Each structure stands twice: as C-alpha cells, then as structure tokens.
Amino acid sequence: MTDFTPTILSAEEVERLQSRVNELERERKHLLATIEILEEISGSLNFVDVVQSVARRLGEAFGLDRCSIFLVEKADQTVRLVASYEDPSIRNYVVDLERYPELKKALRSGRTVFIPDVANDQSLAAVRGALNTRRVKSITVVPITWRGVAIGAMFLRTFRDGPAFAQVDVQFCQVIASLTAKALRNAHRFERLQERAGLTGTGSARSHERERVALIGFMRRLLDEFAAKEGPFDEGILARASADEIERLVGVAMTVLAQEAAAR
C-alpha cells in the first residue's frame, strides 16, 4: 500500500494560488460581460440603445458609483452625456469639460486616463471636495475612438469602499470601448440610410402634390375657357366622342403636367 503524504504549502504559496484563482475568476467575469454586451449591442442599430446597454452592463459588472458615456459632436466639438448607469433618464445633456478635467484629457489625447486614488491626484484638486462627498475611490476614462479620433468616452467611477479597479479591468474596458465604437458606427450608417430613404419618400410625395395642383389648375382654366367660347356643356355630345381620342388627350395632358410639376 502506497503511503500518501499530503503536501503542506507555505503561506506564501497559498497566497499566490489564491491570487491566481482571483485572477481567473475576474477573467471569467470579464468574458461573460463581454459576451452579454456584444449580444446586446450587435442586435441593435439604434445608438441610444447601444450606449444605454453598455453603461448599464458596465455599471452592474463593477458595482460602480457612476458609469456614463459621452459623445462628441463633430460640428462644434460639443460634448454630450448620452447615457448614464445611475440615471437612465439622462440622454442628451451638454457638459462643461472644465468640471471634468480627466474627461477633457482623455478626449484630447485619445488615451485612457486611469486615476486609482482620486484623493491623492493633483489634477483633481479643483473638484476634490465633491469627490470626497461622493466617497469616490478611482476614476477611469476610456476614449471611444474611430479611425484614430476620439468620438466619445466611457467614464467609470468606483466607491471608496467598493471593489478595487485593477489594470486588467482597464484593459477590459478598452475592449468594450472598441466594440462600442463599431456598434455606434453601424448605428450611424443605418440612420443615414433611413434619412436618405425618408428624403426620397418626401421628394416623391412633393412631386405628386405638385402634379395634383397643376392638374387642378389646368382643368379649371380649360373648363373656364371652353365654357366661355362654347356655352353650356352638352353631355350627349361627350357621350358620342371617341374613347380612344379621349385616352390619347388624357395621356398628353398627364405628360405635360408631370413636366410642369418637375419644373416648379
């Protein structure tokens, strides 16, 4: 019979194994969150649904104090808060970048800003009072970029007493930012196609309306002129007219009306 002697691990080895188990568990959660987010945003072509889904999933995954998504308007560089985990009713709020120095830095540099301890970061001196009141521990701002240009950013803030935000979590958020950028691009393309289809439909309706107006105007003038020259209409005479000739005249008239409507 083989004598089995259990291996006794040192405290250092136990700590190292526990650390590795924690890392694997964190990676598992990241993978599940990525799959869930990808399923949601890939199934939507509405940019509001995309950003709301991302903000909600990230907020739930990390138990955040705040998770917001900002987008930059290309025309005037206005920054708008378009999704918020803590207040989903916020959809289109213009923000003052002077109140968010970390957001301003991330958007201008196109690089992730990670502040693990806001209490000791000099760049947040102007807003430290408000952050202390909210018991904020860390802030992470991940740019959402498309073709090298920051089109927005994900803003994540943790509680002082909540789970720590590690570098691996930052890398996970960068992956989500990349997926979000692609989903927003698809949503933008879809909206542009809808707008073009809408314009085409509107143009067609306007053309038909012009034809209708031209037809009514033409018939009024024709009947008034004919009545002035020939006197009252005789329906019996109309009944004996050639049907083919009437059809030909109608075709000519409709062609003229279409040309008149297009010229207006």
DSSP per position, 101-156:
HHHHHHHHH-S-EEES-GGG-GGGGGGHHHHHHTTEEEEEEEEEEETTEEEEEEEE
Calculate the CA dihedral of residues 31, 35, 37, 39 and round it to 10 degrees: 180
For residue 199, the one-letter residue type is L
Contact 183, 50 (CB under 8 A): yes
Which 3 state secondary structure label does DSSP give 67?
strand
Q: What is the pLDDT of residues 28-70, one digit of tens each?
A: 888 888 888 888 887 777 888 889 999 999 998 888 888 999 9
| Location of each CATH 3.30.450.40 domain in the chain | 14-192
Is pLDDT above 80 for 256?
Answer: no
DSSP per position, 13-62:
HHHHHHHHHHHHHHHHHHHHHHHHHHHHHHT---HHHHHHHHHHHHHHHH
Q: Report which of residues 57 and 21 the model is more confident about.
A: 57
Contact 50, 38 (CB under 8 A): no
CATH class of the domain whose range is 14-192:
alpha beta
Question: Quick one: pLDDT band at residue 141, thresholds 50, 70, 90?
Answer: very high
Is pLDDT above 80 for 96?
Answer: yes
Is pLDDT above 70 for 250?
Answer: no
Give the residue-averaged pLDDT of 183-198: 80
Say what the pTM is: 0.65
The mean pLDDT of the chain is: 79
Is pLDDT above 80 for 22?
Answer: no
